[in-house]
Amino acid sequence: MKTDLAERIRTLSADQWEATVAYRRHLHRYPELSFQEHQTVRYVAERLTEMGIPFQAGVGGTGLLGWIEGRDPGSSVVALRADMDALPIQERNEVPYRSEHAGVMHACGHDAHTASLLGAARILHQLRDEFSGTVKLIFQPGEEKFPGGATLMIADGVLQNPTPKSVLGQHVHPPLVSGKVGFRSGAYMAAADELYFTVIGRGGHAAYPHLVIDPVLMAAKLVINLQRVVSRFARPDQPAVLSIGRVIADGATNVIPDRVHVAGTFRSFDAELRERSHEEIRRIARGTAEMFGGQIEVDIKVGYPPLVNHPALTARTRALACAYLGDDHVVDLDISLGAEDFAYYSQVSDACFYRLGTGNPDRGITAPIHTPTFDIDENALDTGQGLMAWLALGELEHKR
């Protein structure tokens, strides 16, 4: 691509950076949980209307699809995706744009994703007479909650009429400093399954444990026994993790309850290991229950598949990022046991999911995602919107 186009995009991005910051701050102040993004999508629709960009609302429920047509719109099609939902976390940041919705926070940067895509759309719309093809804008709900908004938008035809040859998405990454981006080809993020256990015993007075079947002790043993799924069942060269994040034993200091509820996650990359591990989890639960004379009900909700970045597309986008940002601002990423419903796009289209650096240690912006003090260096929005526009135009030019 022409170097003068890169410079034009940099200039347009810098000129509208403050507007994009305002988008992000508004979204951050008014976060909405998965599949409840009614105000959010209304705000996106208002901004696209101001820009003169056509769109269709109600795609996948609370999702929205916009499009920007250049010359010869059917010659090439690329899709850009941003997720819009927030998390059930109470924000602890003392900033002017702090969440005004109690117990709800953009702690995973989806406000930055949506703002960046709005900014990229604005740039692309201004350049529409200078490129050929169509850019589809996917504003997606419900990434944080099964079954994932991507499945609903795909079912609603977001990748049809016209069909994009590739889908690009970006995600904030606080360990990477603002101004840098990261890529990984091939398998990048894990499949994620939710584990739910109901541990059933016979409760009673805590002073007479010989008269009860203690589900609390049974649950504690279950949590320990489950660790062998990764440490002794999976091969050492197979990345996997099993973590328990919720244990509810609704008794008291002198009351042993009848039931304990345990919930967690299992993550892996290998399909065979995934299936066999589900069987092993159930076997461990049965054995633990038999040991105590109780019961353990197991519910495994099969979640997102592994996210696989298309090798050739990733190589192209990485090279384009180097041309736009400079080689020293582009890094290679390790695999991640995190999960993303962007994986569903990668199952039906060439796809590339990359990371946008948002950290700034000098300013104390280092908190991880999914924490109540997460924030971003907003200078990253300049990188995010400009690079998205640049990558979209580069991919439109690519001939298969």
- Count of positions (residues) in the chain: 400
Separation between Cα atoms, residue 32 and residue 17, nearest integer Å: 24
Pick the catalytic residue: 32, 143, 375, 378? Answer: 143
Helices (H), 237-270: none
> Phi and psi dihedrals of 173, rounded to 5?
-150, 90
Separation between Cα atoms, residue 101 and residue 89, nearest integer Å: 10
- State the sign of the Cα–Cα–Cα–Cα dihedral 286, 292, 297, 298: negative
CA torsion 276-278-283-285 (nearest 10°) is: 160
β-bridge pairing 166-177 and 350-359: parallel
Closest CA to 295 of 222, 379, 190, 208: 222
Pick the catalytic residue: 32, 83, 85, 341? Answer: 85
> Does the active-site annotation cover 350?
no
> Residue 307 has which token pair?
């996210």
Q: Taking each helix axis from N to C terminus, what angle separates 3-29 and 110-126, rounded to the nearest 10 degrees? A: 140
- State the sign of the Cα–Cα–Cα–Cα dihedral 151, 152, 157, 159: negative
> Does the active-site annotation cover 85?
yes
- Those residues with Cβ within 8 angstroms of residue 194's Cβ, 6 or more apart along the chain or in another chain: 146, 263, 264, 265, 300, 301, 303
Residue located via tokens 């909405």: 32
Which of helix, strand or coil describes residue 120? Answer: helix
Give the residue numbers marked as catalytic: 85, 143
